Amino acid sequence: MADLATDTGLGGLRVLVIEDEPLISMLLEEMLLDLECEVVGPFADYDSASEASQGGGFDVALLDLDLAGRNTDPIAGELARRNHPFAIASGAPPATDHGAAAVLPKPFTMDRLAAVLRDLRASLTN
């Protein structure tokens, strides 16, 4: 997969992962590593995810809107307020975009993930 990472220019992109489903989280981590991204997290509970979203150490974020039944709208708001590009990764369409740069519907392919990450990375330079 290194050729895909080189072609997409995602190598070294630090991605904050906020996801509570272990299998999805593991798959997402593997995809990000294949794309030569640096994985920050994953964070599966609201408190640690909220704390991570307020800190630094990441370029962009992938955010599940529901962490163990707790809505993550405040985390989305914090990411938007701090101008951190993020995408909502959700199995259900969100009621609002929460200021997200993109929505990544679950299930997703590596190609779709790479496309969303390219868009997020591009927004870092704008």
Q: What is the tens place of the pLDDT at every residue in 47-81?
A: 999 999 998 899 999 999 889 899 898 999 899 88
Residue range of the domain that includes 30: 2-125
CATH number at residue 92: 3.40.50.2300
C-alpha Rg value of the chain to the nearest Å: 13
Please give the tally of structural domains in the chain.
Answer: 1
pLDDT tens by residue, 75-125: 998 998 888 999 998 877 666 667 777 888 889 999 999 999 999 999 887
Give the per-residue pLDDT at 8.
59
**pTM (two decimals):** 0.89
Smallest Cα–Cα separation from 49: which of 91, 84, 23?
A: 84
Say how many Å lie between the first and final Cα of the chain, rounded.
28
Cα of 18 vs its chain's centroid, Å: 7
